[in-house]
Structures are given as structure tokens and as C-alpha cells.
Homo-oligomer: A and B are copies of this chain.
Amino acid sequence: MKNQTIFFKNNILVMDTATIVGPKEHEGPLGVYFDKDIEDDLLGQKTFEYAEIMLHTTVIKYLLNKTKLKQDDIDMCFCGDLMDGIIACNYAMRNFSIPFMGLFNACATFGEAVILGSVMLDSGHADRIICSTSSHFSTAERQFRNPLELGTQRTPLSQTTVTGAGATLLNKKFGKIAVECATIGRVIDYGVKDANDMGAAMAPAARETLLSHLEATGRSPSYYDLILTGDLGKAGSNLLRILMKEKGVILGDNYNDCGAMMFIGDQEKIGQGGSGPACVNVTFNGYVYKKMMSGELTKVLLIPTGALLSKISNLQGETIPSIAHAISFVRKAEFQ
């Protein structure tokens, strides 16, 4: 099997991050780690699609403001979202005069963006890159499942798409957190068909990527202070523990899942936890980044997970192929 893991030659550093989330995410356990939150998840727009475009636009503008950089200082944006034709970032990027690469690995897109952004920096063809993704509960719900107006009851294994957007500014000069290495995922399909049980569809992809990463690096899970999958949810992350155990690898207390960490409230309301391209994004750019900056976390393995279905493939009775990428972030001891 081909080695899927690449180690970056240069110091690829997180210069800064920005996050914006909806009301439910703000009320959750990670709420204090997010930069901005919105009270009205329609943001005064006429549709939820426009609201998500505004979330995506706002988070990039906020990152530029925070870092006192101008659009001209940014070489490229690597962006994605969950809407058909990734219109959240397409329309957001209309507001910026920055070269644009649109990405789609479903909820794993943030991982793809960080990997490709880091490769671009490593190749020497760029100095500053923004990686951003967004999702919105109400755009995802009506695209993949049912119109909200139906008031459909949730199934026990369903998840709640995170309303929010996040952006990471990568560069080679400033920052304490480095992108050390990355394992690029393959498409894995174990035959799960239920679009309301995406944790089960994605857990095998997370296992495949994590095993490949551990083998390539010669590390055990305990090497990391924290291993975080993107949005397997509570049931899905328990399933990953079981699947890893099958292969003789025990995931300890240092393993968690961004989706499982996102919300408070009973399962009837939030299902198995958060999902969507914003889930792993805001958890990393909010919670993980701040914990690493303060020194509480030093080595973190982020594993964004994505279910590569569409409503068409689902309606045509197809199973759900999935993907997961793994990215190792390391806190540099020296102040740079």
C-alpha cells in the first residue's frame, strides 16, 4: 500500500484563526472558545443560503481584521462547504479579490484545505493562505433530509449540522502552532445506506486513515495529547473505538470527537452531536487552537471526516462512501 503520509519540510505555521457560530453552538461546552456568535441564525437575510454565505464572508473578513492584513497580503484561499456547488464559498469569495481554490470532501473539507494549503506553502509558491469552511443547520437539513417546515422527528442516530464558519491563516513566519505532517485519506465504503447515521458510514474511513497514520509515523495513539475526529458523533466515535480495538489499537481518554463535544442538551434535540464542514473547523480554530496557544495541548492529531453522498445518490439507493484525513499539529516550544 502506498504511503499516504507527508511530512512538511518547512515550518508551516498557524498565524491566527477566526470562528463564528450559531446560538446552539455558542450555548454548548465549547462556546467560550469561539470568537463570534450570532443570535439570529438567518442573519437578517432572506434565505438560510444567504445567511451561510454571510457567515463564510464574515469569518474571512474577521480573520483579516484580526491579523491586520489586507486582501493583497493573501496569496490564495482554499475553501469549501456542504451546499450543492459549494455556493457558500463561491459567493463569499465574490467579496474578495484573492485567487480561489474550491474544495469538496464533504465534512472533511477543512482537513483537505489545511493539507493543500500547507503543500502550497511548502512548495514555495505562496506565503500566506486562508483555509475556510462553513455549514448551516438549515441549509444542510433541507438539502440532505427534509424541509424544516415539515417538523420531521429526528432518528436516534442522526446528527445536527453545525451552524458556523471558521478560517485559518497559514504562513511560514509567524505562529506557535505548526502543521507537522498529514495523512491523506482514501474513499472507504462499508455499505451503510442510512443518511441519518453518518457516524457509522464515516467511522471505517477514520480507522483506515488513523491506522495508516500510526503506521507511517511509528507512533501510538498515546503519542498525542489529543486525537480528535471531525464529526462521528457519540455513537460513531464509540464505533471507531470498537473498530480500532479490532485491529489491536486501544483509543484512550485522549481520544474525542468534535461532533460529540459540540452541544449540550438531550439526545432528542441534538442527536449524536454536531456534523458539517464547520464542526471540525470551529472546534480546531476555536477550542484546539486556544488550548495549544496556552500550552495545555502540545501535540494534536485532527481527523476531519466526510460522508461523500448527495441527496441524489441517497435517493437512488446508494451506500455512503466516506473519507478522513489526519493532520498533526505541534506546538513549537520557542516563541516565534
Contact = CB atoms under 8 A, between A and B. Distances in A.
A321 interface: yes
Contact of A85 (B100, B103, B104): B104
Number of copies: 2
A105 B104 contact: no
Contacts of A97: 1, 186
B2 A310 contact: no
A192 to B, nearest CB: 13
Contact of A84 (B76, B80, B125, B312): B312
Interface in A8-46: 9, 46
B101 A103 contact: yes
Interface stretch (A112-120, A218-226, A233-241): A112-120
Interface bracket on A:
35 or more
Interface stretch (A86-94, A147-155, A169-177): A86-94
Nearest to A123: B123
A311 interface: yes
A49 B2 CA distance: 30
Contacts of A143: 312
Interface of A: 1-2, 4, 6, 9, 46-47, 49-50, 71-76, 80, 83-87, 90-91, 93-94, 96-106, 112, 115-116, 119-120, 122-126, 143, 184-187, 189, 308-313, 316, 318, 321, 323
Q: Which 7 A-B pairs have the closest CB atoms?
A: A85-B310, A123-B123, A90-B308, A99-B184, A84-B84, A93-B187, A6-B125
10 contacts: A4-B99, A46-B316, A49-B312, A84-B311, A85-B310, A91-B308, A93-B186, A94-B187, A99-B185, A101-B112
